[in-house]
Amino acid sequence: MSIRRERSILEEDLAKEIIAMECEALDRWGKGDPWGFTEISTAEVTYYDPYTERRLDGLEALRQFYASIEGKIRIERYEMINPRVQIHGDTAVLTFNLIDYVPASGGLTREVHWNSTEVYSRNNGEWKIVHTHWSYIKPKLQD
Amino acid sequence: MSIRRERSILEEDLAKEIIAMECEALDRWGKGDPWGFTEISTAEVTYYDPYTERRLDGLEALRQFYASIEGKIRIERYEMINPRVQIHGDTAVLTFNLIDYVPASGGLTREVHWNSTEVYSRNNGEWKIVHTHWSYIKPKLQD
């Protein structure tokens, strides 16, 4: 087996590990528990989503933001579409599109479509998130 | 001078270099020329913005997308707000909020507010973009 092939298997394992971490945090998120994400984010984490007025800097800012939505999110199920992990040394850029299926009035289900970026970095053998960016796919804006 | 202090100066220089590359591409972008970005993106680049239906994978996909908007963008000026460069080995995560000032009807100017993520990676001494994510700050959605 060539060195190149070995590396590719290692990278594949790492990609699976990163995706599994993300799914575990997403599972908790869908039950109203945002702390799965703070547990795997570093002190320096930077963060955007469609509700932030500006970039959030640092884990404490993220914790305060999440405290305001704890218990308020309910996602029935989600689809992680076409996840990709770009590995550069001790950094792994995980990107995927996401469909959340959210309970709506009248027993219906609403879909929310996301662009998702999670930059993981390895420190002392531990992979954690250093940057998160969530945005809507093709948001339909008011005029 | 301690090693720690030296590293910090090197990182500061690198941060400036990365921000300067980004501003150069943004300057061209505002004049309708998107190719400043493709010139500093790698073959593996992944890309989202509010107009993409799903993540774009690879420089060729990005080139095709940009070809459709070449010459159509006109930005009078922009403000790059609070740029931050998180450096992890050969990867640099540049994030900033951006205000574009865009000509509107009646001689007015419209503001467009962005969350911006650019992941740069060093390969053979050259820093290039491996991932881009543009999204609107707090988009006002239709009901």
* Closest-CA residue to A73 (of A25, A140, A139): A25
Which residues of chain B does A55 touch, with a Cβ-Cβ cutoff of 8 Å? 82, 84, 95-97, 115
Handedness of CA B32, B34, B35, B40 (dihedral sign): positive
Q: What is the pTM of this model?
A: 0.94
Instruction: Give a yes or no: residue A141 inside a domain.
Output: no
| Mean per-residue pLDDT over chain A, rounded | 94
Instruction: Give a yes or no: residue A143 inside a domain.
Output: no
Q: Is the pLDDT of residue B3 over 70?
A: no
Contact criterion met (CB < 8 Å) for B117 and A136:
no
* Tens-digit pLDDT profile for residues A20-43: 999 999 999 999 999 999 999 999
Write the ipTM.
0.94
**CATH of residue A67:** 3.10.450.50
What is the distance between the alpha carbons of residues B95 and B22, in angstroms, rounded to a whole number? 11
Contact criterion met (CB < 8 Å) for A97 and B54:
yes
* Tens-digit pLDDT profile for residues A88-132: 999 999 999 999 999 999 999 999 999 999 999 999 999 999 999
Write down the residue that tokens 């991932």 correspond to. B131
CB-based burial of residue B53 (10 Å sphere; 0-12 exposed, 13-18 middle, 19+ buried)? exposed
* Tens-digit pLDDT profile for residues B28-77: 999 999 999 999 999 999 999 999 999 999 999 999 999 999 999 999 99
Which residues of chain A does B44 touch, with a Cβ-Cβ cutoff of 8 Å? 86
Instruction: Give a yes or no: residue B54 inside a domain.
Output: yes
Contact criterion met (CB < 8 Å) for A133 and B136:
no
Q: So what's the pLDDT on residue A32?
A: 96
Hey, how many other C-beta atoms are within 10 angstroms of the C-beta on B105? 6
Residue B110 contacts A where some CB pair is shorter than 8 Å: no
* Closest-CA residue to B91 (of B7, B29, B15): B15
- Residue A90 to residues A11, A65, A123, A130: CA-CA distances in angstroms? 11, 28, 8, 12
Which contiguous run of DSSP H or E holds residue B116? strand B109-123
3-state SS, one letter per residue, for A72-130? CCCCCEEEEEEEEEEEECCEEEEEEEEEEEEECHHHCEEEEEEEEEEEEEEECCEEEEE
Q: Closest residue of B to A123, CA-based?
A: B88
Count of residues in chain B: 143
Instruction: Give a yes or no: residue B143 inside a domain.
Output: no
Residue B91 contacts A where some CB pair is shorter than 8 Å: yes
Split into its structural domains, chain A has a count of 1
Range of the domain at A14: 3-136
Model confidence at A143, in pLDDT bands (50, 70, 90)? confident
What is the distance between the alpha carbons of residues B135 and B6, in angstroms, rounded to a whole number? 36
Instruction: Give a yes or no: residue A18 inside a domain.
Output: yes
What is the distance between the alpha carbons of residues B27 and B132, in angstroms, rounded to a whole number? 17
Write down the residue that tokens 């930077």 correspond to. A46
A130 near A110, Cβ under 8 Å? no
Hey, how many other C-beta atoms are within 10 angstroms of the C-beta on A33? 15
